[in-house]
């Protein structure tokens, strides 16, 4: 019996048919076209979410309700940071204190300048995995970042089950949420790629300032126009990708599929969602200023009175705690915002 295989023409026709179906489906999901004007009546899409203060109050209400579980997350992260990333390395922090004292002596600000110097150094260390250890290797920095990703995953997993009215514990979240770590890492890597235009604009500004190009006002204006365009590209892409960090934690979800669904959710709503993100950044900045700056000032006073206090890593531990608290706050805020957006089932406009 001879087997009959489809001809090359039939195979191509099937591929073309599948491609046409995908294009048709894509146009239904994304009704706007490049280089074609979209009238306001055609892109108005509802988004029933609370105002800034109401949304913030709801987020803090959720955090307060789950405070015991979040305290476990904080304790686990800080202990893991101490064990794996050298947070107890006090030599670097002592060097920071010495540099801050020199900066204060050479200015008229005194203790204020010293505290500001340490504050900025501590905030910068948060982007290095939440540790002030300058001798931290690339592997340790990677471990610190992955631990924060696990905090994000544990928080989202816990919130998803709590919103589904399931009784779960912090241990369940820590043990179970790691199943989606690889898709989350892929989405995080894509976000880093999307931030490249913004990074290029920043590096370009620093480079051009160092060579004195901006002495020419015309060149300065042209650069800022180009830099704003680069930054807008990154902001446009990252707005949906942050939602994808929540969607990708769903069971069986693939990274590219999560990015596609996130793009469908935010279309025609991007500005309003972006403003909520900006509000979250303001909240985190205020929290760091209110909590970390007084800690630095009090620690400096204790160091002046008791010399041994300079060897107690109060500020590095505070930075690690604030890093994980900021991650929990961000995950809760984005998840609550995501639920509000999903509940509004308005079709793409």
* Average confidence (pLDDT) per 10 residues, the chain, 349 residues: 62 79 68 66 69 92 93 89 64 58 57 60 56 55 84 93 90 88 92 90 78 71 84 89 92 90 84 91 90 80 76 78 92 93 69
- Which among 272, 274, 339, 346 has a CA at the least distance from the CA of 59? 339
pLDDT score recorded for residue 83 = 78
Q: Is residue 13 part of a domain?
A: no
Q: Is residue 291 part of a domain?
A: yes
pTM of the entire structure? 0.80
User: Hunting for tokens 């025609």 — which residue is that?
Assistant: 268
Q: Is residue 117 part of a domain?
A: yes
Q: What is the pLDDT of residue 94?
A: 58
**Residue whose tokens read 């939602």:** 243
Assess if residue 164 is contained within a domain: yes
> How far is Cα 172 from Cα 180, in angstroms, rounded to an integer?
14
Domain contains 314: yes
- What's residue 187's pLDDT? 93
Among candidate residues 152, 179, 168, the one with its CA nearest the CA of residue 252: 179
285 falls within a domain: yes
Whether 54 is in a domain gets the answer yes
pLDDT at residue 132, as a whole number: 45
How crowded is residue 239: how many other Cβ atoms within 10 Å of its Cβ?
20
Boundaries of domain holding 66:
48-181+271-343
Confirm whether 247 is domain-assigned: no
Evaluated on CA atoms 258, 260, 262, 264, the torsion sign reads: negative
How many structural domains comprise the chain? 1
The pLDDT of residue 194: 92
């Amino acid at each position: 019996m001879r087997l009959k295989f489809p001809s090359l023409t039939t195979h191509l026709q099937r591929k073309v048919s599948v491609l046409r179906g995908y294009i048709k489906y894509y146009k239904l999901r994304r009704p706007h076209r490049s280089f074609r004007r979209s009238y306001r009546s055609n892109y108005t899409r509802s988004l029933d979410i609370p105002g800034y203060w109401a949304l913030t109050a709801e987020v803090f209400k959720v955090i307060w309700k789950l405070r015991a579980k979040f305290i476990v997350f904080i304790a686990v992260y800080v202990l893991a940071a101490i064990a794996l990333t050298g947070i107890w390395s006090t030599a670097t922090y002592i060097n920071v204190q010495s540099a801050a004292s020199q900066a204060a002596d050479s200015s008229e600000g005194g203790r204020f300048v010293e505290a500001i110097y340490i504050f900025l150094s501590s905030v910068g260390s948060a982007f290095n995995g939440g540790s002030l250890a300058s001798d931290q290797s690339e592997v340790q920095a990677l471990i610190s970042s992955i631990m924060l990703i696990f905090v994000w995953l544990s928080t989202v997993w816990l919130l998803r089950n709590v919103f589904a009215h399931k009784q779960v514990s912090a241990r369940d979240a820590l043990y179970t949420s790691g199943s989606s770590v690889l898709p989350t890492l892929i989405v995080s890597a894509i976000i880093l790629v999307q931030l490249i235009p913004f990074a290029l604009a920043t590096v370009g500004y620093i480079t051009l300032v160092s060579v004195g190009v901006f002495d020419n006002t015309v060149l300065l204006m042209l650069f800022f126009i180009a830099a704003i365009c680069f930054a807008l590209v990154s902001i446009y892409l990252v707005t949906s990708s942050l939602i994808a960090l929540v969607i990708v934690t769903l069971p069986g979800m693939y990274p590219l599929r999560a990015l596609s669904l996130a793009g469908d959710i935010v279309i025609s709503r991007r500005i309003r969602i972006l403003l909520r993100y900006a509000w979250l950044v303001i909240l985190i900045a205020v929290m760091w200023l209110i909590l970390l700056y007084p800690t630095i000032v009090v620690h400096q006073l204790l160091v002046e009175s008791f010399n041994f206090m300079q060897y107690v890593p109060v500020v590095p531990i505070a930075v690690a705690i604030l890093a994980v608290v900021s991650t929990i706050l961000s995950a809760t805020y984005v998840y609550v915002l995501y639920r509000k957006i999903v509940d509004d089932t308005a079709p793409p406009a």
